[in-house]
């Protein structure tokens, strides 16, 4: 796990003499990604930089790494879990090795297979490889996008980095421009993140997951090397055979992610997913495994009791920290300010705290990320299905009876707000199939943005091409929904699974985990996102994942004998914090400061009076506006931290 950066001349000409200094400044900016070492490598027209967090082959594995013949050089961030078996295969095909690192396996795979090397790599990775003979830079990102890769082309130079903040150091050292993209900002307000491949800066792009990019002959080419398969109509065997195969695949995924030359532990929430990972890790370890959890003093948000049940069942060396919500609220603005891109998932605070707790004792942690997206863990999957039934009701029942009832439901600041939940469902039910998931997740849709954005902003950036219309604002979602598979190959619900995995998980969940863990120099691995596991799950019929209202149906059945009964029976709980309450309490002064009329007027983005109305309605309890207000607050913290302007 590391940080990578580099500058390459697009034309192949010599780089300026300051290139080495520029790359050093970039790598210094992400020292947290690699506190154990650094390196810079230069060749005519190219300069590559690296920060190292030592995990495998502690004595070797230094980067940038050259091939034995000096023809190739690579900088690599991540882990290749099948590097040992791939090394054996490549050795049998004539490749020579000097060390034991997975980095050297990437070099050998490229030397043997060229760009097809990515077809052989299993893990989480982002790398840039310089081919001296071909004068080509070859870059690639892992199957799900667990490791980041930003790039920009300016002043005849191609520059890339693991962190957006690292890339933007080129503003001062090379005179690069990094200006806010108005359309990306409006998409952020809708999605709570900027969907890949866009970036909050209009000069920057994000390499898509499962994709490669090549810089050669003065131009850029690229493509996708993998995608999730669509589900089969029927199960390939009986349930028990399928469950047994799943157990084998998951066991292999966990075992391969336990290979480490440094201490390793498990993120344990007490939910189904992390408990499965902990149980399998315990089976594969001769010594008690270390587990880590964060609890809250407030019972509505606390899961520590369940984590302790799992820790006791698997005899783990368990470490727990219980916080008050107020303590977490104090940390939250600081955590947000250290994120290199605006992302309004408030659970970044407990994720950051959990990463810090784990890093006190380990350098690598395994987590349960990916299971909710692949196995229908979120309530929105049920909402999607129910919406189909709801829309078949007579219009008069929906319009005259059910929808008016939503307005009289009780409102709560706790984990579940009944009125907000029903209102969210009704918005999703009214949306077309392709937009239903995002409508249930959105913070500020097009109509809401028309109310809070300034008149000048709308006239300049939204109205000329009707950008805030659903088909434009949410175009990234429509593209993923429509283009995944042939029209008759996957149902609308199956496509919703895909959108969740390829958009929400990519730009929210994985960004959150990567940034929060790497700020503590902690590597986090995700067995549920193992390529073989993910392909197996994706091919299963939807009924194996969502059986009626039963989420994770086959997953729970497969591991019924592993998990404690209390864990198997419990409902899904997210890593949530009381944002609605905080915005009326601990975070209210910060919200009022950063969204003051004078500050908003000086920015020229928002209508101060409209934002003030939102805040007053939330403060008074008239509406639960936690999502739009938190999204606005995160943006304002990020703008203050970066000083970004249009």
Please report where in the chains the tokens 């095909």 appear, as a residue. Answer: 93
| Inside any domain, residue 545 | yes
Q: Within a domain: residue 430? A: no
Last residue of a domain, one of 521, 540, 569: 569
pTM as predicted: 0.94
The answer as to whether 398 is a domain residue is no
Q: DSSP 3-state assignment of 200? A: coil
Q: Are 540 and 242 in contact (CB under 8 A)?
A: yes
* 599 inside domain: yes
Mean pLDDT over residues 597-605, rounded?
96
Let me know whether 220 and 280 are in one domain: no
Q: Examine residue 420 and state whether it is found in any structural domain, yes or no.
A: no
Name the β-bridge partners of 356: none
pLDDT at 432 over 90: yes
Residue 115 sits in the same domain as residue 63: yes
User: Rounded to an integer, what distance in angstroms lies between the CA atom of residue 618 and that of residue 599?
Assistant: 20
The CA distance from 21 to 170, in Å, is 10
Q: Given 520, 537, 569, which residue is the final one in a domain?
A: 569
- Find out whether 214 and 138 touch, Cβ atoms under 8 Å: yes
The CATH number covering residue 68 comes to 3.60.20.10
Least confident of 543-552, 568-577, 578-587: 568-577
The count of domains in the chain is 3
Where in the sequence is the domain holding 176, given as residue range(s)?
2-224
Instruction: Report d(CA 437, CA 195) in Å as an integer.
Output: 14
Position 384 in a domain? no
Half-sphere exposure of 537 (CA within 13 A, CB side): 30
Distances in Å between the alpha carbon of 187 and those of 179, 435, 476, 629? 16, 14, 10, 15
- Please name the residues in contact with 416: beta carbons below 8 A apart, sequence gap of 6 or more: none
Q: What is the pLDDT of residues 145-167, one digit of tens each?
A: 999 999 999 999 999 999 999 99
pLDDT tens, residue by residue, 236-259: 788 999 999 999 999 999 999 998
Q: For 101-113, give the DSSP string.
A: -HHHHHHHHHHHH
Q: Are residues 204 and 117 in the same domain?
A: yes
CA–CA separation, 609 vs 615, rounded Å?
10
Please tell me whether residues 178 and 325 are part of one structural domain. no
Q: What is the pLDDT of residue 422?
A: 80
Which tens digits make up the pLDDT trace of 279-307? 999 999 999 999 999 887 776 667 788 99
Q: What are the strands, taking DSSP E only, across 303-383?
A: 317-323, 364-366
Tell me which H or E stretch contains 46. strand 46-52
- Is there a single domain that holds both residue 339 and residue 360? yes
CA distances from 280 to 84, 292, 319, 599 (A): 21, 16, 19, 52
pLDDT of 264 reads: 95
Q: Tell me: do 528 and 586 sit in the same domain.
A: no
Beta bridge partners of 150: 161, 206
- Gap between the Cα atoms of 366 and 41, Å rounded: 32
Cα–Cα distance, 323 to 409 (Å, whole number): 31
Strands (E), 419-554: 523-525, 546-547, 550-551
pLDDT level of residue 407 (50, 70, 90 thresholds) = low
- Picking from 107, 192, 191, 205, the residue whose alpha carbon sits closest to that of residue 148 is 205
Lowest-pLDDT range of 189-193, 347-351, 371-375, 610-614: 347-351
State the Cα–Cα distance between residues 8 and 137, nearest whole angstrom: 8
**Per-residue b/e over 562-573, b at no fewer than 16 CB within 10 Å?**
bbbeebeebeee
Per-residue tokens: 411: 């409102």
Q: How far is CA 297 from CA 327, 347, 413, 581, in A?
A: 10, 16, 16, 15
Residue 421 is assigned to a structural domain of this protein: no
Say if 468 falls within a structural domain: no
CA 159 – CA 157 distance, rounded (Å): 6
Residue 12 gets the label, from left (phi > 0), alpha (psi -120 to 50) or beta, of left
Pairing of strands 264-267, 290-296: parallel
Residues 74 and 187 in one domain: yes
Among 65-74, 146-155, 567-576, the least confident range:
567-576
Residue 403 has pLDDT above 80, yes or no: no
Q: Are residues 564 and 582 in the same domain?
A: no
The CA distance from 565 to 312, in Å, is 13
pLDDT for the residue 598: 97
- Which structure tokens are listed for 104? 């050297």
Long-range contact list for 283-287, CB < 8 A, 24+ apart?
283/251, 284/251, 284/254, 284/255, 284/258, 285/258
Q: Are 382 and 546 in contact (CB under 8 A)?
A: yes
Query: What pLDDT is recorded for position 521?
Result: 94
pLDDT tens profile 309-337: 999 999 999 999 988 777 777 888 888 88
């Amino acid at each position: 796990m590391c940080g990578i950066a580099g500058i390459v001349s697009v034309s192949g000409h010599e780089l300026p003499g300051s290139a080495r200094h520029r790359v050093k400044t970039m790598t210094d900016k992400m020292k947290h990604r690699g506190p154990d070492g650094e390196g810079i490598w230069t060749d005519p027209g190219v300069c590559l930089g690296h920060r190292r967090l030592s995990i495998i082959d502690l004595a070797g594995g230094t980067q940038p790494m050259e091939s034995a013949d000096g023809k190739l050089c690579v900088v690599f961030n991540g882990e290749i879990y099948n590097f040992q078996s791939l090394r054996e295969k490549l050795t049998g095909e004539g490749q020579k090795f000097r060390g034991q690192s997975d980095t050297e396996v990437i070099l050998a795979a490229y030397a043997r297979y060229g760009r097809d090397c990515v077809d052989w790599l299993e893990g989480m990775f982002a790398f840039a490889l310089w081919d001296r003979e071909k004068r080509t830079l070859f870059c690639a990102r892992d199957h799900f996008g667990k490791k980041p890769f930003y790039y920009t082309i300016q002043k005849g130079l191609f520059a890339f980095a693991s962190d957006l903040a690292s890339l933007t150091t080129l503003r001062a050292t090379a005179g690069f421009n990094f200006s806010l993209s108005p359309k990306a900002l409006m998409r952020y307000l809708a999605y709570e993140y900027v969907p890949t491949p866009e970036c909050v800066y209009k000069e920057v792009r994000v390499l898509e997951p499962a994709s490669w990019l090549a810089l050669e002959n003065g131009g850029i080419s690229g493509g996708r090397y993998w995608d999730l398969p669509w589900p089969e109509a029927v199960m390939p065997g009986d349930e028990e055979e399928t469950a047994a195969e799943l157990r084998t695949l998951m066991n292999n995924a966990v075992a391969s992610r336990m290979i480490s030359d440094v201490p390793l532990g498990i993120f344990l929430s007490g939910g189904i997913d992390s408990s499965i990972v902990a149980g399998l890790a315990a089976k594969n370890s001769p010594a008690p495994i270390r587990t880590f959890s964060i609890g809250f003093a407030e019972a509505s948000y606390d899961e520590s009791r369940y984590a302790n049940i799992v820790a006791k069942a698997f005899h783990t060396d368990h470490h727990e920290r219980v916080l008050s919500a107020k303590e977490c609220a104090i940390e939250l603005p600081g955590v947000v300010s250290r994120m290199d891109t605006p992302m309004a998932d408030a659970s970044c605070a407990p994720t950051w705290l959990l990463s810090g707790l784990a890093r006190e004792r380990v350098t690598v942690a395994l987590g349960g990320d990916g299971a909710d997206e692949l196995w229908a863990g979120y309530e929105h999957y049920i909402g999607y299905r129910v919406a189909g039934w709801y829309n078949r009701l007579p219009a008069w029942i929906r319009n005259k009876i059910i929808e008016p009832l939503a307005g009289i439901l009780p409102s709560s600041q706790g984990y579940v707000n009944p009125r907000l939940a029903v209102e969210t469902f009704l918005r999703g039910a009214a949306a077309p199939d392709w937009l239903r998931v995002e409508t249930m997740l959105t913070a500020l849709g097009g109509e809401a943005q028309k109310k809070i954005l300034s008149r000048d902003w709308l006239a300049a950036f939204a109205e000329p091409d009707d950008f805030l219309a659903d088909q434009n604002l949410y175009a990234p979602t429509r593209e993923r929904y429509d283009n995944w598979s042939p029209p008759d190959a996957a149902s609308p619900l199956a496509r919703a699974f895909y959108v969740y995995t390829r958009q929400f998980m990519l730009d929210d969940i994985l960004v959150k985990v990567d940034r929060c863990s790497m700020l503590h120099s902690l590597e986090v691995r995700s067995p549920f996102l193992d390529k073989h596991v993910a392909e197996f799950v994706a091919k299963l019929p939807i009924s194996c994942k969502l059986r009626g209202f039963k989420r994770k149906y086959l997953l729970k059945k497969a591991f019924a004998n592993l998990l404690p009964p209390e864990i198997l029976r419990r409902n899904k709980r997210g890593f949530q914090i009381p944002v609605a309450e905080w915005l009326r309490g601990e975070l209210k002064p910060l919200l009022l400061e950063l969204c003051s009329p004078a500050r908003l007027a000086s920015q020229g983005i928002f209508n101060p009076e409209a934002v003030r109305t939102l805040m007053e309605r939330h403060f008074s309890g008239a509406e639960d506006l936690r999502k739009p207000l938190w999204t606005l607050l995160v943006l304002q913290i990020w703008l203050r931290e970066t000083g970004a302007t249009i």
